[in-house]
Amino acid sequence: MDSQEKRFERVNQKRRTRGELLRAARQIVENGGHPSVAEVADLAGISRATAYRYFSTPDEIIREAVLDGVADVISIEPAAADASLNDAEARLDKLVFDIFHMILNNESVFRALLGNVVTGQTQVRRGGRRIPWLKEALSPLQDRVPSKQLDRLIHALSLVTGVESLVVMLDICELEPDEAERTLRWTARAILKAALEDSDFKRA
C-alpha cells in the first residue's frame, strides 16, 4: 500500500469512527438520555481518549448527532434559470414539508437539543442550516428583489422551519401532526404572499 492509499484509508477510518460515535450518541438521546462523551465511546466500543479527540463536550456530540442524522434528508434542487415566482412558492412549500417531517421523524433528538439550549446547558448557536436551505429554496427571487428585503423574508420564514415551530403546533396548539404540517405550510405561503405584496418588497 503506497502513501496515498494509506492516507485515503486513514481518512476513511476517521469517518467510520466519527460515524460510529454519532450513531451511539443518537441511540442514547432517542432513548431519553443525555450522553456524556465517555458514555458514547463506551456504547460505540471506541476508546474514550479517541472519542475526546473527535468531540470535547456532550453538547457538541449531541448537536452533531442531530445534524449528521438529518444532513442528507433535506435536498433542494438548483432552480432553473427561468424559474418564476410560482416556482419559488412551490420550492418553499416542499422545503417546509420536508423540514417538518425531518424533525417529526427525529423528534426526541431535536427536543433534547432544544432542551439543552433553553436550560442554558449549551452555548452552541442553533438554526444555522435552515437559513441556507431557505436561501436556496427562494433563489428564484434573488434577481427580482433587493437583498435586504429577501433577508427579512428568510428570517421571517425561519420561524416556521425549526423544532420550535413543531413544539408550538403540537404542544401549545395541540394539533395532530397532519394538521400541524398543513398549518405551517399555510403560514409559509402567507408570509411569502404578504412579502411580495409589501410596498417595501419591490423588485430590484
Residue 18, domain CATH = 1.10.10.60
Q: Quick one: 171 and 154 in the same domain?
A: yes
Q: Quick one: 55 and 98 in the same domain?
A: no
| Mean local confidence (pLDDT), 141-150 | 87
| Mean local confidence (pLDDT), 29-41 | 89
Q: Quick one: 121 and 22 in the same domain?
A: no
Please, are residues 27 and 33 in contact by the beta-carbon 8 Å criterion?
no
Residue 113 within a domain: yes
On average, the pLDDT of the chain sits at 85
Q: Quick one: 109 and 28 in the same domain?
A: no
Please, are residues 61 and 22 in contact by the beta-carbon 8 Å criterion?
yes
Query: What is the signed CA dihedral for 24, 26, 31, 37, rounded to 10 degrees?
Result: 60
Residue 204 within a domain: no
Q: Quick one: 100 and 77 in the same domain?
A: yes
Q: Quick one: 88 and 161 in the same domain?
A: yes
Residue 146 within a domain: yes
- The C-alpha atoms of residue 40 and residue 44 are separated, in whole angstroms, by 6
pLDDT value at residue 128? 65
pLDDT value at residue 74? 86
pTM (two decimals): 0.70
Closest CA to 129 of 89, 75, 192, 195: 75
Domain count, the chain: 2
C-alpha cell at 40: 458514547
pLDDT value at residue 30? 81
- The C-alpha atoms of residue 98 and residue 77 are separated, in whole angstroms, by 13
Q: Quick one: 48 and 88 in the same domain?
A: no
Domain finish residue from 53, 69, 85: 69
Q: Quick one: 55 and 80 in the same domain?
A: no
Residue 202 within a domain: no
Q: Quick one: 106 and 180 in the same domain?
A: yes
Is 50 exceeded by the pLDDT of residue 124? no
Q: Quick one: 99 and 178 in the same domain?
A: yes
Enclosing domain of residue 136: 73-197
- The C-alpha atoms of residue 52 and residue 61 are separated, in whole angstroms, by 10
Residue 29 within a domain: yes
Residue 88 within a domain: yes
Domain finish residue from 47, 69, 91: 69
C-alpha cell at 138: 427562494
Is 90 exceeded by the pLDDT of residue 109? no
Residue 173 within a domain: yes
- The C-alpha atoms of residue 56 and residue 193 are separated, in whole angstroms, by 45
Q: Quick one: 91 and 60 in the same domain?
A: no
- The C-alpha atoms of residue 162 and residue 204 are separated, in whole angstroms, by 30
- The C-alpha atoms of residue 140 and residue 74 are separated, in whole angstroms, by 18
Domain finish residue from 69, 85, 112: 69
Choose from 43-57, 61-75, 113-127 the range with maximum mean pLDDT: 43-57
- The C-alpha atoms of residue 154 and residue 196 are separated, in whole angstroms, by 13
Q: Quick one: 172 and 108 in the same domain?
A: yes
- Phi (first) and psi of residue 118, to 5 degrees: -70, -25
Residue 203 within a domain: no
